[in-house]
Structure 1
């Protein structure tokens, strides 16, 4: 069904959902969107994208509904409440939840969707705003393998998809991804803070480490943000701490302690508590500077 589908609804047109909707429209799909804040959706109308008045309205005639809302509770509210998206969707349509949500929420939405005769995939992404704009997202898809395969024509416009297991597996994989990303960003911030306080030029230190074992996409992109002071949100810190807290809650429910993740979560929570939650998550270096503001820099010996 999905290979031939022409009608796609995108629910949530923020930092990620907006560029994804544009890529789908540019690929020839008939795209209609809905966003809780109308002006974010209206900005897409000049590109031939339709704007719906409600989530149920945008879902009613769609062959594929993509949800890119901010959190698990918001997804539950919009998708599952009476008169919501799942109830409005036509039989055999596909619901794809690409938000970062708890595993339990992904499973619950999947159960409700399948009970209503819908295909379902929880398919969160990694790659940030740049990946959404360029169609290079890593898509981690849970659900029935046949349903994920049927959506290959949609997913290929957005990035590279991997089927990782049954419903909920996509959400679980994204939590693992977020622990890696958040921990790495914090390590990069610590390294550049160390370089700065030691009297070296952080930008030159970053340049020197490119291509070595410390190199990574996080080091390249977020290290550059740190040395240039560009903390415009691609991935806001408030969403990063939402994901690390969700990962830790799931780990604890399985009897696991994740000490590195716990410290990273504390750092990001402090960043949000200090009023920087809307900055990019690379802004964690600002929190490190606050923690060390009484220390005096010393030049290299």
Structure 2
């Protein structure tokens, strides 16, 4: 793929807007579509062309990137009413960077192949900050030669690792989400314990940086918890989407994941009390509620 490659970008939300912008700034010809048109309009200043319909973004694209919110939304936009894959040229490549179930990814790959479209599942980790700075961890599943051809497109977005065949990227993302969700809850509990015990949580965080307790979650979300800085952030409803998907897959494989089960319960309770759009690192708020009863 050259810098002159035509990229269709579907879904310019919290993460996707930064990703589409970075691709355009790197010289790719980007046409983007979003269900909320205003989110695409803001990208025109960076050279992104706004499509009025999803199929328009795909019609002449060499690569179409999907950054939509869920499996059902991906199915609807890519293969349903919006017919993105039907509009894609034969020989082009669909890269689904959304966090969706493994079985959905594999089925989508089969449908895309019937249309002569290559398929790669490449979910990401790193949050809005990673999307903005181009430091995302990209977990790719698909044919090795297809992923190698996509490396110039992945480069402005972050670091790509080829995990294995289609579906392997999504499996890696589920593993990532279980670690992240568990870490968020552990950090929230630890900081709450320090605060209730009479220590300054900011000083505790400072002391632990660089030790075994350190992590990206501890550095970024720990600071946000201390400062109560939860806007805009990633919605908690997306966290339970991923933990729920992971637990369903585990059950189908005959696995019991007790820590993930408890973490999923905590986030579901958080959504009930705070609303699905509440930032997922605000788990500390729910923990405070639980401990005040």
TM bucket normalised to smaller: over 0.9
Match of 1:298 in 2: none
Q: Map residues 119-130 of structure 1 onto 2, 5 A cutoff.
A: 119-130=118-129
Matched-pair contact (CA < 8 Å) for 1:124–1:140 = yes
Q: Where has structure 1 moved over 3 Å in runs of 4 or more? A: none
Match of 2:71 in 1: 72
Match of 1:261 in 2: 260
TM-score scaled by structure 2? Answer: 0.98
Q: Residue deviations 1:149-208, cap 9 Å, x none? A: 110100011100011011111111100000000000100000001111111111111111
CA distance in 2 between partners of 1:167 and 1:175 (Å): 14
Matched-pair contact (CA < 8 Å) for 1:91–1:117 = yes
Match of 2:39 in 1: 40
TM-score scaled by structure 1? Answer: 0.95
Match of 2:216 in 1: 217
1:234 CA displacement: 2.6
Match of 1:104 in 2: 103
Matched-pair contact (CA < 8 Å) for 1:122–1:168 = yes
Structure 2, unaligned runs of 5 or more: none
Matched-pair contact (CA < 8 Å) for 1:3–1:150 = no
CA distance in 2 between partners of 1:106 and 1:161 (Å): 18
Task: Tell me the SS of whatever aligns to 1:100.
Answer: coil
CA distance in 1 between partners of 2:81 and 2:222 (Å): 45
CA distance in 1 between partners of 2:225 and 2:276 (Å): 16
Match of 1:175 in 2: 174
Q: Map residues 168-247 of structure 1 onto 2, 5 A cutoff.
A: 168-247=167-246
Structure 1, unaligned runs of 5 or more: 295-301
Using the TM superposition, name which of 26-35 and 226-235 deviates more: 226-235
State the aligned residue count.
293
1:82 CA displacement: 5.4
Matched-pair contact (CA < 8 Å) for 2:76–2:82 = no
Provide the alpha-carbon RMSD of the alignment.
Answer: 1.1
Task: Tell me the SS of whatever aligns to 2:30.
Answer: strand
